[in-house]
Chain A
């Protein structure tokens, strides 16, 4: 089995908090349009695909950037190519990340036609003042419109991404956002605490003192709130930042967390195949140049040691609903965990260690303590 991630490294505008590997057309080429900078991009991706193993494909995920900026036909070429050389599993999950502003009923129907069956909208917040700080340009009303269009078009699994902890966002603002998302009767929610990445506009605004990040207590309260509201609405928690209706978990992301084999296509994309991690050159132009010159776009790789594989299994596994197998842990690690159990952060049942909601909030710390 081999999952595919397809990176679409383009955005119309860079949001202030974002440090993803994405570019606006003019950043790539002065005065250029998206058509110009992206026209041969899919060709490059298809060349990279030639190097991938030909295992059956359980999931494909188009992320970015803004994949929905590209026409369905372009993205469809990638799906078709994968299908042609690797077999797609019968229930293959094919996800499109989409900006609510960049879809139309017609476009959505085309995406379905080329093979997509799951769509994830970047909603982020229902509050205009929060969206403004995040630099998101979409009108909150468009989210509702986009989702009903997606439903109408026939998408059977719809997700929204939310961000909490934006400067100026209150617990009540966040409650309203989660309420708005749940009111759309979506199947899946990803809710992420805002991370201030170095080098972003947001980081500069905070450094200057123009914006202030909320404290950890408010962030924690926001997390506990979204968890509670989702559970009440029938969306069950299954990974640190993800909730879904039954059978609507994102199987592609689960493949990451279970250390399955996956191949990332596109500049800066990472892959993991049989204990080896490798990643591509970061810039789209270099990426294209390499592939068109017949070279590998791989920048570097690492072969994981047994200890690293174990560490990864712990740091990924503990974030999930199924938790960690006790068999994976040493007695002294269990001893550390029993202290956390005492303080209400973990539950230990017969054969697994599970985080409670408050425990999830300190998952990294717990991982540090048991692996160091």
Chain B
């Protein structure tokens, strides 16, 4: 058997770098990465068959349920090559698979010398995989193309082997074929990893330089920091230092994951493992930072560190105002594990007290919200997401706007918005419809290439604000789910943007304000006033609903005064029934918000701001509660 028992395998801190191979797997959601990883754990016997469970490495419920990996992990796998009979240590570094976590992906890639490019041979490569592949190629990683799911009846290995070969410049027959499900070809893949991927190179005598490629908060241990040692050595009980901050910590524990944590004597050149310092907040141990020795620090950090920058902002408000402290506590807790999450208290005239939160992207936002609701039993209203604008005033001053309510009222000279470079992969029959969508969203076509006979890569510059607003849903529905999207920041550009306010009885309701392109202001105004007319119950007076840019009204609706709200009959048993109804309504009243003199049910806010997915969720919750 090519597996080697852990005890007999080369040990951490004393493994010759020549015996080490560090690799990651680049794959799209549901292309079978987790299943392949499971198979690797089984075949190398680091997990006994009886302890095996599906998606072994995905820790959070959300990861397992959604089939996506949010946080990366690194597993040490001993392996005897059947090609040369040598003993090796394979470090498999798991990478997050979504566009929002590109930066984390890039750090995972930087910890490796090679990458397995895993593609479902029934579906072909997807945009995000392509983006990560390019990232890996830029990092000079050795790419091993692998077609997965060859056991599927609708597999098209020839077609997609040709596609991969064209993308990475190899021969179609160089693509390995595996089935994570049956285990076919997996041992061969491990041998090829040993054969093709270069061993790490570093100076064992230099001051330590270790790259942090992930940082996870654990309730019992504090922050667990995942590192790849480039030079030198990290030992337990030693003082280490974070290069970016200069702060020193004691390495309480240094170890490897195999796939449960094993504390050891340290980590040497080329090794991958974890360390625990007792810090409680992942922001003190940031992904991309370099760890060095406190007493003998390096002078040059490893390249590539940057602060995660929130790209999308949204207000989160507890449905029940009394839950505000719980929300604060929940965010504090979540931030321990999510250095990219930022938030500050916000108060809305309409929604009460909440937080304005910044996220890496839409998925990040969704995951945070889902975790808050699920793990902390909160019911939240989230306002429509928006991006960050830089507004230049006539007097030359510049204002950063993360919330439409901060948009300056005075004379605005220019508004700058974030632009992203987006890549869309889709079957060629959808070129027309995709271009139509992108044009409609103010896109600028950069180019288009066929990646195979019937699949194209289309590149557009798009304002991020347009992507944030249901672009992905539209793309999916217009292409029957076949198109995939990836994007990366590309600076900012001036846009003809205005703030549209929504006024109830002449009073602006902050929660409904939006920053939109001038050409779309009217459509937004009509949409929102129409929606509110349906959602707000009739009041004792007529309520005008207006959409306005500054003082100029661009759309109006009105809710006519209420005419009938009475039950005609009130005899005998009706009396207690009526009183009981009243008592029930007294409780419900707490869920009404007063906007000026207008009574707006909380549901109206939720429905006006929510996405379709939110509404489905609310409906499901109501159904469950009945």
Residues of A bordering B, CB below 8 Å: 5, 191-193, 195, 216-217, 219-220, 223, 240-241, 253, 256-257, 262, 264, 268-270, 272, 277, 279, 302, 308, 311-312, 315-316, 319, 339-340, 343, 345, 358, 360-365, 367-368, 371-372
Contacts and interface: CB of A to CB of B under 8 A. Distances in A.
Interface string B557-600: 00001111111111111011011001101100100000000000
Contacts of B575: 256, 270, 272, 277, 312, 316
B541 interface: yes
Nearest to A271: B572
B576 A270 contact: yes
Chain B, interface size category, equals: 20 to 34
B140 interface: no
28 contacts: A191-B568, A192-B568, A192-B569, A193-B564, A195-B567, A195-B569, A216-B563, A219-B563, A220-B564, A240-B566, A256-B570, A269-B572, A270-B573, A272-B575, A311-B582, A311-B583, A319-B570, A339-B540, A340-B540, A345-B540, A360-B566, A362-B562, A362-B563, A363-B566, A364-B565, A365-B566, A371-B582, A372-B582
A244 to B, nearest CB: 16
Contacts of B583: 308, 311
Contacts of B561: 343
Contacts of A268: 573
Query: Main secondary structure on chain B at its contact with chain A?
Result: loop
Given A340-B540, A372-B589, A315 B582 contact: yes
Contacts of B568: 191-193, 195, 240-241
B564 A5 contact: no
Contacts of A192: 568-569
B88 to A, nearest CB: 69
Interface in B378-416: none
Interface string B95-129: 00000000000000000000000000000000000
Nearest to B571: A256
A202 B612 CA distance: 33
Given A311-B582, A371-B586, A362 B566 contact: yes
A216 B564 contact: yes
Contact of B540 (A217, A223, A264, A343): A343
B582 A362 contact: no
A279 B562 contact: no
Nearest to A342: B541
Contacts of A257: 570
Given A217-B563, A219-B564, A362-B565, A256 B572 contact: yes
A219 B565 CA distance: 10
Contacts of A264: 572
Nearest to B573: A270
Nearest to B589: A372
A312 B579 contact: yes
A362 B540 CA distance: 9
A353 to B, nearest CB: 15
Nearest to A256: B571
Contacts of B586: 371-372
A281 to B, nearest CB: 13
A316 B578 CA distance: 10
Contacts of A270: 572-573, 575-576
Given A343-B540, A361-B564, 16 more contacts: A220-B563, A257-B570, A269-B573, A270-B573, A279-B573, A308-B583, A311-B579, A312-B575, A340-B540, A362-B562, A364-B565, A364-B566, A365-B562, A367-B582, A368-B585, A372-B582
Contacts of B573: 268-270, 279
Nearest to B538: A216
Nearest to B585: A368
Contacts of B565: 361-365
Contacts of B589: 368, 372
Contacts of A319: 570
A196 B130 CA distance: 59
Nearest to B561: A343
Nearest to B569: A192
A3 B565 CA distance: 30
A367 B589 CA distance: 13
A177 to B, nearest CB: 15
Contact of A372 (B540, B566, B585): B585
A-B pairs, 7 with minimum CB distance: A220-B563, A365-B565, A270-B573, A216-B564, A192-B568, A193-B568, A363-B566
B576 A277 contact: yes
Most interface-central of B540, B566, B583, B585 (chain A CB within 10 A): B566
Contacts of A372: 582, 585-586, 589
Contacts of A345: 540
A368 B569 CA distance: 17
A149 B572 CA distance: 30
A308 B586 CA distance: 12
Contacts of B576: 270, 277, 302
Contact of B582 (A358, A361, A368): A368
Interface string B176-216: 00000000000000000000000000000000000000000
B565 to A, nearest CB: 4
A371 B570 CA distance: 18
A191 to B, nearest CB: 8
A321 to B, nearest CB: 15
B34 to A, nearest CB: 46
Nearest to B599: A369
B594 to A, nearest CB: 12
